[in-house]
């Protein structure tokens, strides 16, 4: 998950970069609309979410948002607005923002909004996720590999769905915990490792490398068979 931060206040910007990185997000920070435009219109943008300050030195933040939406770019945008500026909020939402957070904000609140926004845009548009010879039906929660049916318990299919939606991406234990267990587990527990183990036993084929790679010190990555 890569988050673009568009904020000219150095203090807020570095606070966001630090906080989001510690939560396992990749970040990119710019301080004006011109630089942000280069990022979002670049060929390798791959931005999953934008945090957008409205008061920027070269132009209003909302111009970036309008540009993105005119281009058909549906990347979710959370607007950071100065305290109580209702007109900012309305302008932001009208321009196509997914949410707004008033400054000053608590980092935990922003984090909750980011997660909620990413969940909303992550809704299934298809009923089946296919990756190589592995298929997962989102309605029946049934997986098959090379036609072999794989019965999955609830946390197992939730975990598999998460991996299939982020192929090739390293997911930290914290990211997995928050997505599959909603933090109802102690972050220090080894429940993620245990369930990755269950999933590997069900999905992997004898003699072939595991579909779920362990990335030392970082987490897990789903790879194509
Ligand atoms: Ca500002």
Distance 55 CA to ligand 1 centre (A): 4
Distance 2 CA to ligand 1 centre (A): 21
> CA 83, 86, 87, 90: dihedral to nearest 10 degrees?
120
Distance 68 CA to ligand 1 centre (A): 20
Give first-to-last CA distance, the chain, whole Å.
23
Query: Which residues are bridge partners to 49 per DSSP?
Result: 3
Question: Within 10 Å of residue 164's Cβ, how many Cβ atoms?
Answer: 20
Which among 78, 114, 117 has a CA at the least distance from the CA of 97? 78
C-beta separation of 20 from 64 below 8 A: no
Of all residues in the chain, what percent carry a pLDDT higher than 70? 89
**96 vs 52 pLDDT, higher one:** 52
Distance 53 CA to ligand 1 centre (A): 6
C-beta separation of 51 from 92 below 8 A: no
Q: Tell me which DSSP letter residue 142 carries.
A: -
Distance 79 CA to ligand 1 centre (A): 11
Distance 8 CA to ligand 1 centre (A): 5
The string of pLDDT tens digits covering residues 174-197 is: 889 888 886 666 767 889 999 999
Distance 42 CA to ligand 1 centre (A): 23
Mean pLDDT of the chain: 87
Distance 13 CA to ligand 1 centre (A): 10
Q: Tell me which DSSP letter residue 208 carries.
A: S
Give the pLDDT confidence score for residue 69 in this predicted structure: 87
Please give the Cα distance from 102 to 84 (Å, whole number): 7
101: helix, strand or coil: strand
Total residues found in the chain within this entry:
225
Q: Tell me which DSSP letter residue 182 carries.
A: T
Q: List CB contacts of 200: < 8 A, sequence separation 6 or more.
A: 210, 211, 212
C-beta separation of 123 from 102 below 8 A: no
Distance 31 CA to ligand 1 centre (A): 9
99: helix, strand or coil: strand
Q: What is the pTM of this model?
A: 0.55
Which among 107, 77, 102 has a CA at the least distance from the CA of 87? 102
Distance 189 CA to ligand 1 centre (A): 40
Distance 102 CA to ligand 1 centre (A): 12
Q: State yes or no: pLDDT of 5 exceeds 90.
A: yes
Q: Which structure tokens are listed for 135? A: 């298929």
Q: State yes or no: pLDDT of 159 exceeds 70.
A: yes
Please give the Cα distance from 191 to 177 (Å, whole number): 8
H-type helices in 71-219, by residue range?
86-94, 107-121, 154-165, 173-176, 191-203
Q: Which structure tokens are listed for 173? A: 């234990």
Q: State yes or no: pLDDT of 125 exceeds 60.
A: no
């Amino acid at each position: 998950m890569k988050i673009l931060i568009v904020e000219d206040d150095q203090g807020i910007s570095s606070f966001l970069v630090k906080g989001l990185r510690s939560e396992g997000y990749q970040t990119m920070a710019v301080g004006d609309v011109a630089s942000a435009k280069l990022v979002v219109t670049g060929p390798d943008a791959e931005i999953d979410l934008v945090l957008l300050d409205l008061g920027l030195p070269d132009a209003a933040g909302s111009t970036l948002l309008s540009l993105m939406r005119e281009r058909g770019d549906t990347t979710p945008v959370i607007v950071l607005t100065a305290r109580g500026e209702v007109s900012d909020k309305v302008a932001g939402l009208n321009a196509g923002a997914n949410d707004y957070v008033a400054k000053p904000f608590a980092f935990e609140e922003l984090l909750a909004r980011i997660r909620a926004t990413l969940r909303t845009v992550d809704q299934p548009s298809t009923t089946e996720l296919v990756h190589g010879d592995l298929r997962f039906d989102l309605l029946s929660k049934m997986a098959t590999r090379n036609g072999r049916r794989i019965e999955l318990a609830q946390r197992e299919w939730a975990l598999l769905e998460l991996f299939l939606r982020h192929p090739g991406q390293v997911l930290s234990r914290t990211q997995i915990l928050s997505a599959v267990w909603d933090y109802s587990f102690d972050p220090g527990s080894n429940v993620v490792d245990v369930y990755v183990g269950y999933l590997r036993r069900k999905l992997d084929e004898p003699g072939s490398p595991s579909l779920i790679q362990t990335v030392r010190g970082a987490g897990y990555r789903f790879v194509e068979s």
